Amino acid sequence: MTQHVSPPRDGTGKAAPVDGPPAWRGVIARADVRTLSLLGVLAALVLIGGITKPDEFLDTRNLQLVLTQASVIGVVTVGMTFVIISGGIDLSVGAIVALASVWATTVATQEYGFFGILFTAIVVGVGCGLVNGVLIAYGAMVPFIATLAMLASARGLALQITDGRTQIVTVDGILDLGERDSYVLGIPPLVLVFAAVTVIGWLVLNRTTFGRRTVAVGGNAEAARLAGIDVRRQRLYLYLLSGLCCGIAAFLLIVLSGSGQNTNGNLYELDAIAAAIIGGTLLSGGRGTIVGSVLGVLIFTTITNIFALNNLQSDVQQIAKGAIIVAAVLVQRRTASTH
Amino acid sequence: MAPEPPLLSMSGITKSFPGVRALDGVDLEVQAGEVHCLLGQNGAGKSTLIKVLAGAHQPDTGTIRWRGEDVTLRSPIAAMRLGIATIYQELDLVEHLSVAENVHLGHEPTTAGFVVRGRAAKASTAQLLRRLGHSEIDPGRLVGELSAAQQQIVSMARALSHDVRLIVMDEPSAALDPDEVDNLFRIVADLTADGVAVVYISHRLEEIRRIGDRVTVLKDGRAVAGGLPAKETPTREVVALMTGRNVEYVFPDRPAAAPQGEPVLSVRGLSRQGEFAALDLEVRPGEIVGLAGLVGSGRSEILETVYGARRPTSGQVLVDGRPLRPGSVRAAVRAGLGLAPEERKAQALLMLESVTRNVSVSSMSRFARGGWIDRGAELGAARAATRELSLRPDNPSVPVRTLSGGNQQKAVLARWLLRGCRVLLLDEPTRGVDVGARAELYAVIRRLADEGLAVLLVSSEVPEVLGLADRVLVLREGRVVHEAPARELDEHRVLDLVMEGSPAS
* CATH number for position A172: 1.10.3470.10
User: What is the arithmetic mean of pLDDT over B334-347?
Assistant: 91
CB A276 within 8 A of CB A80: yes
In a domain, A36, yes or no: no
Bond preceding residue B396 cis, omega within 30 of 0: no
* Candidates B252, B354, B397; nearest CB to A11: B252
pLDDT at B203 over 90: no
CB B154 within 8 A of CB B102: yes
**Which residues in chain B are contacts of A213 at CB distance < 8 A?**
364
pLDDT at A120 over 90: yes
Q: What is the model's pLDDT at position A4?
A: 45
**Which residues in chain B are contacts of A15 at CB distance < 8 A?**
390, 392
Domain boundaries, chain B: 8-243, 265-500
Q: What is the model's pLDDT at position B349?
A: 93
pLDDT band at A6 (very low <50, low <70, confident <90, very high): very low
pLDDT at B125 over 50: yes
Contact with chain B for residue A283, Cβ under 8 A: no
pLDDT band at A15 (very low <50, low <70, confident <90, very high): very low
Spacing of C-alpha A333 from chain mean position: 21
pLDDT in tens, B453-480: 999 999 878 888 999 999 999 988 888 8
Give the lowest-confidence range in A335-339, B14-18, B344-348, B432-436: A335-339
Which among A325, A186, A177 has a CA at the least distance from the CA of A253?
A: A177
The answer, yes or no, to whether ipTM is higher than 0.85 is: no
User: What is the arithmetic mean of pLDDT over A137-152?
Assistant: 95
> Between vectors from CA A268 to CA A262 and to CA A272, what angle results, nearest 5°?
160
pLDDT at B288 over 50: yes
In whole angstroms, what is the distance from residue B492 CA to residue B199 CA? 25
Q: Do A226 and B309 touch (CB under 8 A)?
A: yes
For an interface test with B, the pick among A203, A208, A212 (most B C-beta atoms closer than 10 Å) comes out as: A212
What is the percent of chain A where pLDDT is above 90? 58
Q: What is the model's pLDDT at position B245?
A: 55
In a domain, A302, yes or no: yes
Dihedral class, residue B336 (left if φ above 0, else alpha if ψ from -120 to 50, else beta): left
Same fold, B8-243 and B265-500: yes
Count other C-beta atoms under 10 Å from residue A5's C-beta.
12
Q: What is the model's pLDDT at position A339?
A: 42
pLDDT at A14 over 50: no
Q: Do B361 and A20 touch (CB under 8 A)?
A: no
Q: What is the model's pLDDT at position B457?
A: 94
Mean pLDDT, chain B, whole residue set: 86
pLDDT at A226 over 60: yes
CB B87 within 8 A of CB B157: no
pLDDT band at B19 (very low <50, low <70, confident <90, very high): low
Contact with chain B for residue A339, Cβ under 8 A: yes
Contact with chain B for residue A7, Cβ under 8 A: yes
Which among B160, B159, B164, B171 has a CA at the least distance from the CA of B8?
A: B164
pLDDT in tens, B40-57: 876 678 888 989 998 888
User: What is the arithmetic mean of pLDDT over A9-28?
Assistant: 43
Q: What is the model's pLDDT at position B267?
A: 95
Q: What is the model's pLDDT at position A19?
A: 43
Residues found in chain A: 339
Which residue would you say has higher pLDDT here, B159 or B237?
A: B159
How many domains are contained in chain A?
A: 1
CB B37 within 8 A of CB B169: no
Residue B14 makes CB contacts below 8 A (sequence gap 6+) with B21, B23, B24, B25, B26, B59, B60, B61, B62
Q: What is the model's pLDDT at position B299?
A: 84
Q: Which CATH superfamily is domain B265-500 in?
A: P-loop containing nucleotide triphosphate hydrolases (3.40.50.300)
Q: Do A209 and B362 touch (CB under 8 A)?
A: no
Compare all CA atoms of chain B with the CA of A209 and give the residue at the minimum distance.
B371
pLDDT band at A18 (very low <50, low <70, confident <90, very high): very low
Is the whole model's pTM more than 0.80, yes or no?
no
For an interface test with B, the pick among A212, A226, A338 (most B C-beta atoms closer than 10 Å) comes out as: A226
Dihedral class, residue B389 (left if φ above 0, else alpha if ψ from -120 to 50, else beta): alpha
User: What is the arithmetic mean of pLDDT over A269-285?
Assistant: 91
Top-confidence range, A240-249, A304-313, B82-91, B102-111? A240-249
Domain with A253, as residue range(s), is: 42-337
CA distance A123 to chain B (A): 24
In whole angstroms, what is the distance from residue B333 CA to residue B432 CA? 25
pLDDT in tens, A34-47: 788 888 889 998 99
Compare all CA atoms of chain B with the CA of A225 and give the residue at the minimum distance.
B329
pLDDT in tens, B161-181: 888 899 999 888 776 777 778
Name the class of domain B8-243. Answer: alpha beta
**Could you report how far apart the first and last alpha carbons of chain A are, in Å?**
47
CB B326 within 8 A of CB B308: yes
Q: What is the model's pLDDT at position A195?
A: 96
Q: Do B252 and A20 touch (CB under 8 A)?
A: no
Q: What is chain A's Cα-based Rg? A: 23
**Which residues in chain B are contacts of A19 at CB distance < 8 A?**
402-404
pLDDT at B491 over 60: yes
pLDDT at A22 over 60: no
Q: What is the model's pLDDT at position A338?
A: 45
Q: Do A24 and B354 touch (CB under 8 A)?
A: yes
CA distance B299 to chain A (A): 17
In whole angstroms, what is the distance from residue A63 CA to residue B281 CA? 71
Q: A277-298 as b/e, with b when 16 or more CB fall inside 10 Å?
A: bbbbbbeebbbbbbbbbbbbbb
Please name the amino acid found at residue A57. F
CB A96 within 8 A of CB A262: no
Q: Do A4 and B444 touch (CB under 8 A)?
A: no
CA distance A120 to chain B (A): 28
User: What is the arithmetic mean of pLDDT over B473-492?
Assistant: 88
**Could you report how far apart the first and last alpha carbons of chain B are, in Å?**
33
Which among B346, B239, B255, B297 has a CA at the least distance from the CA of B459?
A: B297
Which among A290, A294, A277 has a CA at the least distance from the CA of A206?
A: A290
Contact with chain B for residue A287, Cβ under 8 A: yes
**Which residues in chain A are contacts of B329 at CB distance < 8 A?**
225-226, 228
**Which residues in chain B are contacts of A287 at CB distance < 8 A?**
352
In a domain, A245, yes or no: yes
